Amino acid sequence: EAGVTQFPSHSVIEKGQTVTLRCDPISGHDNLYWYRRVMGKEIKFLLHFVKESKQDESGMPNNRFLAERTGGTYSTLKVQPAELEDSGVYFCASRRDGHTEAFFGQGTRLTVV
């Protein structure tokens, strides 16, 4: 079984540009989560999808961040326009309904310069 896959693994963009991160969850996992760790801080929750619906987006920092999960499969997280403080590692995790274990991807390291 393939794990959670995130693309790209690294991204370097200039302030003001747009970046889109992608997450492919494990097949059959309805729950998909985005987390991030900004420099020197802790891993923090961003939002939670159940299939294609946003269950909880209380962790999204501001309206420059837009997450989608069309069709309830893969998800994208777009940052537009990117700011310096958006630099960090963005993790995606998925979980099968009725199961307690969440599986994380390897993360996307975003650097805004």
Contact positions vs another protein (CB under 8 A): 4, 31, 33, 35, 42-45, 47-48, 55-56, 59, 91-93, 95, 100-107
SS3 letters across 71-108: HHCCEEEEECCCCHHHCEEEEEEEECCCCCCCEECCCE
Q: Which residue has the tokens 């499969």?
A: 73
Q: How far is the CB of 20 from another protein (least distance, A)?
A: 19
Of the two residues 79 and 93, which places its CB atom closer to another protein in the complex? 93
Q: How far is the CB of 52 from another protein (least distance, A)?
A: 16
Query: Cα separation of 55 and 71, whole Å?
Result: 15
Q: How far is the CB of 113 from another protein (least distance, A)?
A: 20
Of the two residues 95 and 112, which places its CB atom closer to another protein in the complex? 95
Measured over the CA atoms of residue 34, residue 40, residue 42 and residue 44, the dihedral's sign is negative
